Amino acid sequence: MKIFGVLGLIVLIIVLATVAVDVASTPKPKKGQCLLAKRILPPDVCVNSCTQVFDCTATTRPYAVFFTQAAICLDAVICE
C-alpha cells in the first residue's frame, strides 16, 4: 500500500508542475492584440493586453464534459 501512496504523490507533483509551466508560459500580447493560449491541462484561454476583466473570446468549445474553453479569439481589441 505504501507504493500506491508514493506513486500517487509523484503523479500529483508531475500534474502540478505541468499546470504551473503551462500557466507561466502564457504568451504576452502586444497592445491591441488578442492571442489564444493553448495549454496542456488547463483550458485554452484568450489573453489580451487590456485589463483582466476584458474577455476577447469570440467562440468557445467543450472542455472536460461540463466546461468550455476558448476556441477562437477576436482579431484585434481596443483598450481604453
Say if residue 11's pLDDT is above 90: yes
From 72, 1, 79, 77, select the one nearest 36 (Cα to Cα).
72
Say if residue 80's pLDDT is above 70: no
Say if residue 65's pLDDT is above 80: yes
Dihedral (CA of 41, 43, 47, 52) sign? negative
For 10, half-sphere exposure in the C-beta direction (CA atoms, 13 angstrom radius) is 6
Parse the chain into domains and list their residue ranges: 2-73
CB 48 within 8 A of CB 56: yes
pTM as predicted: 0.70
